[in-house]
Chains A and B, each alone.
Chain A
Amino acid sequence: MNRLIKIDFRKYYHNRTFWVLSALYVVLVVFVFMGIESFLNHVVSNVGKNSQVAIPNFSLYSFPYVWQNLAYVAGFFKIFLALIVIIFVTNEYSYKTIRQNVMSGMSRVEFLFSKVIFVLFISLGVTLVLFLSAMLLGFAHTGHITTALVFGKMFFVPAYFLEVFAFLLMAMLFAFVLQKQGLSIAIFALYYYVLEPIIAFKLPDNVAHFLPLKMIAHLIDVPNSSLMKIFGVNFRETVSWMDIWGCLGYSVLFIVLVYLFLKNRDL
């Protein structure tokens, strides 16, 4: 395990692309976290100018709602992380270093796990970014802070971790199978934005719910706001066990599929 971390760490630590993309992601997400509240308020107040009911300004940052709000927003940017995973898995094929690694004495399973560890680290990293951002914004914007308020809905943080982890494993699967960088990115994006939505649309709802991206996205539902309550819409404020098991199941499935794919293949 330590050895695998060490081997893979060196591959990214000295790579400029990795740091540029990671920094870009963190800057982007933190900016969005900080700007989203005033942006939404601005949009809503513009739309509601002629409304007879006074539309209240809402706060996204107060405990305990900040956890779900920011986790939901951060979910939009996970495609960016998938890009990093795809780039680094397909690099091993384009440099043929997967060959060199196996020749030098890594087993195929070890190679696969070194990439799962990579995905795990990225997921942990971005979860930490979410945790710190939400913590700081929460403390700055909540009037009366109690422990129960802070920790009340913190389970959205591990839920976000699972969301990213399962999603990135899926990206990893695409990269291992397709091997070419451009192709993997294109097909994965196509599946994410076009194919699965179409499939989901054609299938009955109770079946479509089990599609991988649907399941992953369903983990953290759209946050309720006071505005939505006015309209009588009520989204889930919890994470369902079925979604958790579904995402875990898909994670295992993606890893097993890569294993089966690698096991008997020429490199």
Chain B
Amino acid sequence: MEIRNLSKSYGRLKALDSLSLTVEKGSIFGILGPNGSGKTTTLGILLDIIKADSGEHLWFGQRPSSASRKRIGALLEQPLFYPYLTAEQNLKVVADIRGAAYNEIDDVLEMVSLRDKKLYKYSTFSLGMKQRLAIAAAMLGKPEVLIFDEPTNGLDPKGIADIRNLILEVAKQGFTIILASHLLDEVEKVCTHVLVLEKGKKRYAGPVNEALGGALIMEVAANDTEKLQAALSKIQAVKSATKQNGMFVLTVDEDLLPESLNKLLTEQGVYLSHLVVRTKSLEKYFLELLSESHE
């Protein structure tokens, strides 16, 4: 999937400002951004339900068409179904549109554990069930790409956990997935690549581990704080050490293992009472990135 210079305005509001992007086959691509940053607009354009003002995009190396949309399964913002039809009938409508066989319906319902509810009307479903049905619908017709936009919106913690597990499971099956979310945890856990949007502009696009940078964070504490600080300053792999709540938060080289740090400190006669490795979280990175742009 490729996007070139996509722009879209709603009146005076620029929802998307010449965005360019390439998503490779097989990657799990996260789109991050605060509310109103253009995530849904971008996905809406990719699915042809929103028309861009300028720019173009390609699916599978071709101009987008209804045929290319049949190779994409999507859940955009909220599940949309006919309330008076049952789960199964709703999926049959989708199957007819996508040219999928009806016998796939039981399989996808099984995946989202709604098979025993298939004869119930959609209007009787809870929000979590509706969301899961939408994921089932997205997987009908064996699509190559799945697009999930805020799939856990409005769900309770149990529902969020269910959907997250479901996505992790789907991710393992080798789909290309585009996942927009403001739940960073979600993106961090499953995504290989990430795009950070702010006010319709690209702030970062690339692999997740590059976004997280080449540094590790460790927390250390010892009874003798001053001796620890002196010892730390002598270790080259430790780039910075800041004191926080009686312990030191260190930024260290990626290849520094916690056991070697422990060994180096012991050699200097410092014995640690506390040692924790903290990976730099995407959340932290995300907030950093956005605060930079405000300065």
Contact = CB atoms under 8 A, between A and B. Distances in A.
Interface of A: 3, 6-7, 10-11, 14-16, 95-97, 99-107, 110, 264-267
17 contacts: A3-B97, A15-B84, A16-B84, A99-B76, A100-B81, A101-B97, A102-B47, A102-B49, A103-B48, A104-B69, A104-B70, A104-B98, A105-B69, A105-B70, A107-B66, A264-B51, A266-B49
Contact of A97 (B47, B65, B82): B82
A170 B245 CA distance: 73
B96 interface: yes
B85 A104 contact: no
A95 to B, nearest CB: 6
Nearest to B69: A105
A104 B75 CA distance: 10
A11 B82 contact: yes
A contact patch SS: helix
A100 B84 contact: no
Interface string B236-266: 0000000000000000000000000000000
A10 B65 CA distance: 25
A21 B14 CA distance: 45
A74 to B, nearest CB: 29
B133 to A, nearest CB: 11
A190 B76 CA distance: 37
B183 to A, nearest CB: 22
B84 A97 contact: no
A206 to B, nearest CB: 42
B51 to A, nearest CB: 5
A95 B76 contact: no
B83 A95 contact: yes
A105 B137 CA distance: 12
Contacts of B55: none
Interface stretch (B29-37, B86-94, B156-164, B277-285): B86-94
B44 interface: yes
A95 B47 CA distance: 18
A181 to B, nearest CB: 14
B84 A103 contact: no
B66 A105 contact: yes
A45 B48 CA distance: 65
Contacts of B137: 100, 104
A102 B64 CA distance: 12
Contacts of B49: 99, 102-103, 266-267
Contacts of B80: 95-97, 99-100
Q: Which of B84, B96, B137 has the most CB of A within 10 A?
A: B96
Interface of B: 44, 47-51, 65-67, 69-70, 74, 76, 78, 80-86, 89, 92-94, 96-99, 137, 141
A97 B78 CA distance: 11
B81 A97 contact: yes
Contact of B97 (A7, A95, A264): A7
A103 to B, nearest CB: 5
Contacts, number: 78
Nearest to A267: B49
Nearest to A99: B49
A95 B137 CA distance: 16
Nearest to B78: A96
Contacts of A3: 96-97, 99
A10 B96 contact: yes
Contacts of A6: 96
Nearest to B44: A266
Nearest to B75: A103
Contacts of A102: 47-49, 66, 69
B9 to A, nearest CB: 12
A267 B40 CA distance: 13
A96 B77 CA distance: 12
Contacts of A10: 85, 89, 92-93, 96
A254 B8 CA distance: 29
Q: Which of A101, A105, A264 has the most CB of B within 10 A?
A: A105
Contacts of B84: 14-16
Contacts of A101: 93, 97
B120 to A, nearest CB: 13
B162 to A, nearest CB: 22
A10 B81 CA distance: 13
Q: Which of B78, B85, B92, B93 has the most CB of A within 10 A?
A: B93
Contacts of A264: 51
Contacts of B94: 100, 104
A104 B36 CA distance: 24
A266 B76 CA distance: 14
A106 B97 contact: yes
Nearest to A109: B66
Contacts of B69: 102-105
A228 to B, nearest CB: 48
A97 B90 CA distance: 10
Nearest to B122: A95
